[in-house]
Structure formats: C-alpha cells, structure tokens
A and B are shown apart, each in its own frame.
Chain A
C-alpha cells in the first residue's frame, strides 16, 4: 500500500505539471493561429473540431483536470487509510482538498478571470504537497512504533 500511495502521489504531481504544459501548448497554438490570420470566437471554441492542432492542449487539460486528477486524488485518499504512513492520511487529505479547490478555481475562472490566476498559483501548491506526500511515503519509518504494518507482516 505504501508503494501505491507513493506512485499515486507522484502521479498527481506529474499530472499537475502536465496540466501546466497542456495549457501553454494550447495558448501558444492559439497565438500562432491568430497571428496567421485565424479567428477564434465562442462558436469555434465550442466546436470539438480544433481549428489549430495545439487546441488538443485545452481538451487534455479539461479531461485531466475534471476527471483524471480528481480520481487519482480520491484513490490516494482511500489508499492512505491503509498505507500506514505517518501523517499519510493528512497529506492525502491535503492533496484531495487542494484538488477540489483547484477544480473550483478553474471553473470559477470562466466567470471571474482572477480566479484563473489563483488557479495557476494553487497548482504550484498542489504540485508541492503531492510531491512531499510521495517523498513521505518513500522515507524509511523513523521508529518501529510508527510502522506497525512492517512488524506484523514480518515478525522477527
């Protein structure tokens, strides 16, 4: 369970990094498209047929952010109950809460763009917390008492 926790927490961190990458890919593609004389409006935004190839970045950002990352954070939380990592549950809860905040900021940004700015900052916080959670799972337990699972499964 410890290894599963570790992999999931790293996966959240990697996914957050990808999210930033997808978004900038899309925006760069949009800039290039406009520069070449293309236009982009609500009608084209709502079409699933991309006018420029990099628009796939927006699509991936949406699917990843609304489905994949919340699912990873949820599974991490459930795994944390069984993983017996010192403060592992707290870190998983922190990841889960930050993911929820992140999704809400993302959607709120449609209405209030300043929330989008906070979405960008919260991403860094989420990345850091997910990364630290993963590191925590990787660190050897300091005291035996903190890690009963090792004792029970391997009696001396």
Chain B
C-alpha cells in the first residue's frame, strides 16, 4: 500500500508540475501585458530614430499646450459645438446617441482658405468626456484633440477651444478622439469644408453645386448626412457638382457614378493634378478618407446618382423628375446600378508635378509593419494586431526633428485591410508593392493598406508635436494598432487613463 500511495503522490506531483508548465507562461504573458492605470503616451514604445543620431532634448522641452495658432489673431470663423447624449432620429427610427448642437452629424463647418477657425466645444451631457479631432487638417498640436496626448477629455460642464488656420482648401471632417471607437459610431462627428475662395451663392440657378456627402452608419442604417436613402440635390442640366465624399466608417467604401463620367478632383483634402474623366469605374474611399468627385448633370435633364457603397448615394439633377415630388420611384437613369468591376488606381491617375522635397534622401526611414498574432493585450487574451512584430505597447515610437524628410514603409501582413491615419501631416505616396507612383501627386492622411500590400510614403516633419499614427478602423486602434510620431523635445502634461479617464481610442 505505501508504495502505491507514494506512486499516487508522485503522479499528483507530476500533474501539478505539468499544469504549472502550462499555466506559468500564460500567467507571465498576462502579467507583463497589463498596462498601468495611467501612463504618458510619450512613455509608450521604443524610440525609433529612423537611422538618425538621437539628439538630446532640452530639459523641460516644448509643451504641447504651447503649440497653438497665433493667440493674438482674431478668429474669422467662430463656432460653438455643444455635445449632448440624447435620442437621435435616423429616418423613421430613433436611437440612443450623441449629437453636436442637437444633430448628428454636427453642423458643416465652412471656412475659406487662410481663415482662422475657432471652435469652442462644450460638453453638456456626454459621460466619459469628449474631444474633437480635425481629421486631415494639419492643425497645431494643441488643437489635435487627442485625449490624453494633446488635452484632457472635456467632461460634462467643461469646454475646450480649438484654434487653427485652415491653410489647405479641401474636404475634412471632425470627430471625437476620446473613446473614439464608441463615440464616433454613436454620432460625435461632422464635416469641415475649406474653400479656396469665398463661395458665391448663385441663388436658384443651380449651375454648380458643392455637396457634402458624409457617409455614416447609425445602427443598421447607412446614411448620407444623417439620412438613410438618397440625398437629392437640384442641379440644372449640364451643370457640374463637386460631391465631397467622406467615409466616417471603419472600413473602405467604394463610390461610383452610374451611367455618367466623373473626375476625382481631390483626395484627402488635396486637389489632384490633371484628373481625367473616368466611367464605369469605382473609387475606393478608405475609412476616414475623403474623395471629391466632380459630376456633370446630364444635358437631357435626367438625374445621375453617385453611389456610396451601395444602391443609395447622392442623386444630382433630374429636376423634372424629383423636384415636383410627385413620383418618388426612380426613373431609368437613376435606377440603382451595381458596383463596376474596375476600381480607379490613384497610383497612375492624373499627371505628376514636382515635389518640394527629395524623398530619396530622407533624414529618417521608418518601417510600419502590420501583423497579427495571439497574445495578451492589457491582460485580455485574443488575436491582436502587431506593429513590427510586437503587441501594444511594445511598439516603435517614431522620433523626428522639425524639418526632417521622413520616409516610411507601411506593409500589411495581418490578413485584413487597415486604413492608416497619421495625424498632423499629409504624406505623399511614392510606390505600392515596389511600383512607383506615376500619376498626380497622391497626398494622403488616410491610406488604405490592403493585406499583402506595401506602400512607401514620405512627408516633411513640419508640424512639431506628438501625433498619433494609427489604424482608422477605430476598434482596431483600440485593439492596439496605434503608435505615434514624436518630435524631439516635445512633452505632454496629459496622460492616458488616470483620474481624467482619457481614453484616446
């Protein structure tokens, strides 16, 4: 009996050892993955100087709160946006959501290039706090609106003022960057349009139209400017419209024009050079990205539809058919048309122009490799995104100095597409999968990097600060696909987490 008991004990010990061998590494990985309750974004990641020698920052450095637009200049455009938690009406349904000045999307903010825009954000009733990020606008860092990096989340009863010069004409949008994966979905967003010159209202002629088409999904309903179905815009036969497509969703969306030619005149707030007319071709607007389509209303007075991801979109013209409102059924010319097989390749679209800097002689070279592997992220097990093979927060921090020419290779081997968004800068696409760009200069702030693709991009580090560089599939950012561009010597008094509950993603 004693030998049997000893044998049984031995087996129990062996079982315990085996169990420990399985559990211990898991427990270790779980433990080391946990993030502190509060941390500075500048402490996240390993400094990657991109091949340049690290210079020593001045003690104290430059505080992000000092990186502002000229404080003595008067605002040309002044807006107050009040954030509320309330019921939203989307078509015939109502849902729980967030509004800005009582609507979602919030009001379209319009400015003329060169004007100083001042937006006062007031949080009336959004628990957890809010911010506003000016997506695609290269604002001074203090106006970038990233909770925990450039400001504290604006809590109920508080306000924050954003000031920036709208020095680039184009289509932009704004959205909360506090718990963004949740708050953007639920309505804290809107459009910003910067015109090259003051817009002259032509009265009822409708000879040219400037149409904002902000696409957002509320609950199960995909909407254009907050309403399901088509956005109908009166337009005289033969007149042109500039349709500013803004994809606020988490995945890329195709846009196409049924039965008519169109031109893509701008991408991500930057005009293209020499865009030619295309037909039976879709253009992919990545998540967070914008594309301005120039469409001419048919001379015969029929309508033309710009499809936005599906059967609906913007219906232009067709005054005789639509303005009377007698018959809501679409006529033949505006019957929904399926997505064309061809997709426009911006790598070869338009005509090239010289760059103001030499991307072949960069001061810094960075690699942004996106992958995916199982592991723990802040203690949660799952299949998480990796940057250069590592999970957040073990990611590179891209360190630059003002004036540097920066070249970055973005590649994706994660199995899914990622719309990569760099704050505060526009980068130019140099090549995709080794094929050089030969079309119009293709400047992006949101780049669709499909699985298996590698893009070479370049930009000039001309906007000091701490800038997020993340996936704009916002839940992906919350799942760790986020890092930042860090100017030497810039510091932030703000922290992620902590008593202010700053939660940028």
- A107 B383 Cβ-Cβ under 8 A: yes
Annotate A40-58 by CB proximity to B: 1 below 8 A, 0 otherwise. Answer: 0111111111111000000
* A71 and chain B: residue at smallest CB distance: B381
Asked if A114 CB lies within 8 Å of chain B CBs, one says no
Taken together as a complex, chains A and B put the C-alpha atoms of A24 and B355 apart, in Å, by 52
Q: List chain B residues, Cβ under 8 A from A152.
A: 4-5, 8
- A43 B22 Cβ-Cβ under 8 A: no
Taken together as a complex, chains A and B put the C-alpha atoms of A56 and B91 apart, in Å, by 23
> Main secondary structure on chain A at its contact with chain B?
helix
Taken together as a complex, chains A and B put the C-alpha atoms of A125 and B390 apart, in Å, by 33
Out of A39, A110, A151, A155, name the residue touching B309 (CB < 8 Å): A39
- B253 A47 Cβ-Cβ under 8 A: no
Max count, chain B CB within 10 A of own CB: residue among A70, A78, A103, A108: A78
- B415 A110 Cβ-Cβ under 8 A: yes
Annotate B246-266 by CB proximity to A: 1 below 8 A, 0 otherwise. Answer: 010111111000000000000
Q: List chain B residues, Cβ under 8 A from A47.
A: 185, 217, 249-250
Taken together as a complex, chains A and B put the C-alpha atoms of A47 and B184 apart, in Å, by 12
- B217 A44 Cβ-Cβ under 8 A: yes
Taken together as a complex, chains A and B put the C-alpha atoms of A56 and B473 apart, in Å, by 20
Question: Which residues of B (321-362) have their CB < 8 Å from a CB of A?
Answer: none
Taken together as a complex, chains A and B put the C-alpha atoms of A45 and B247 apart, in Å, by 14
Q: List chain B residues, Cβ under 8 A from A44.
A: 217, 222, 251, 309
Q: List chain B residues, Cβ under 8 A from A146.
A: none
Q: List chain B residues, Cβ under 8 A from A148.
A: 4, 7-8, 11
Pair count A-B, CB < 8 A: 93
* A78 and chain B: residue at smallest CB distance: B19
- A39 B311 Cβ-Cβ under 8 A: yes
* A111 and chain B: residue at smallest CB distance: B415
Q: List chain B residues, Cβ under 8 A from A111.
A: 415, 451-452
- A67 B252 Cβ-Cβ under 8 A: no
Out of A46, A77, A107, name the residue touching B475 (CB < 8 Å): A46
Asked if B430 CB lies within 8 Å of chain A CBs, one says no
CB distance from A155 to the nearest CB of B (A): 8
Out of B7, B14, B249, B310, name the residue touching A39 (CB < 8 Å): B310
Question: Which residues of B (301-316) have their CB < 8 Å from a CB of A?
Answer: 309-311
Asked if A66 CB lies within 8 Å of chain B CBs, one says yes
Asked if B200 CB lies within 8 Å of chain A CBs, one says no
Asked if A74 CB lies within 8 Å of chain B CBs, one says yes
- B220 A43 Cβ-Cβ under 8 A: no
Question: Which residues of B (226-277) have their CB < 8 Å from a CB of A?
Answer: 247, 249-254
Q: List chain B residues, Cβ under 8 A from A103.
A: 374, 383
- A41 B254 Cβ-Cβ under 8 A: yes
Asked if B287 CB lies within 8 Å of chain A CBs, one says yes
Asked if B51 CB lies within 8 Å of chain A CBs, one says no
Q: List chain A residues, Cβ under 8 A from B475.
A: 46, 48
CB distance from B98 to the nearest CB of A (A): 15
Question: Which residues of A (52-94) have their CB < 8 Å from a CB of B?
Answer: 52, 66-67, 70, 74, 77-78, 81-82, 84, 89
- B247 A81 Cβ-Cβ under 8 A: no
Asked if A37 CB lies within 8 Å of chain B CBs, one says yes
Out of A46, A51, A107, name the residue touching B250 (CB < 8 Å): A46
Asked if A149 CB lies within 8 Å of chain B CBs, one says yes
Asked if B23 CB lies within 8 Å of chain A CBs, one says yes
Taken together as a complex, chains A and B put the C-alpha atoms of A144 and B258 apart, in Å, by 78
Taken together as a complex, chains A and B put the C-alpha atoms of A89 and B250 apart, in Å, by 44
Q: List chain A residues, Cβ under 8 A from B219.
A: 49
Question: Which residues of B (365-410) have their CB < 8 Å from a CB of A?
Answer: 372, 374, 381-383
Contact A42 B417, CB 8 Å, known A49-B219, A107-B372, A111-B451: yes
Q: List chain A residues, Cβ under 8 A from B8.
A: 148-149, 152
CB distance from B224 to the nearest CB of A (A): 13
* B448 and chain A: residue at smallest CB distance: A42
Max count, chain B CB within 10 A of own CB: residue among A45, A66, A103, A111: A111
CB distance from A143 to the nearest CB of B (A): 14
Question: Which residues of B (1-50) have their CB < 8 Å from a CB of A?
Answer: 1, 4-5, 7-8, 11-12, 14-16, 18-19, 22-23, 26
Q: List chain A residues, Cβ under 8 A from B311.
A: 37, 39
Q: List chain B residues, Cβ under 8 A from A107.
A: 372, 383, 415
Q: List chain B residues, Cβ under 8 A from A78.
A: 19, 22-23
Chain A residues proximal to chain B, CB less than 8 Å: 37-39, 41-52, 66-67, 70, 74, 77-78, 81-82, 84, 89, 103, 107-108, 110-111, 148-149, 151-152, 155
**9 contacting pairs across A/B (C-beta < 8 A):** A39-B310, A41-B253, A41-B309, A42-B417, A46-B251, A46-B475, A49-B217, A70-B381, A82-B12
Chain B residues proximal to chain A, CB less than 8 Å: 1, 4-5, 7-8, 11-12, 14-16, 18-19, 22-23, 26, 185, 215, 217-220, 222, 247, 249-254, 287, 309-311, 372, 374, 381-383, 415-417, 451-452, 473, 475
Further contacts, 4 of them, CB under 8 A, given A42-B417, A108-B415: A42-B252, A49-B185, A49-B218, A78-B22
The 9 closest A-B pairs by CB, nearest first: A42-B251, A39-B310, A81-B15, A43-B249, A46-B250, A110-B415, A46-B251, A43-B251, A111-B415
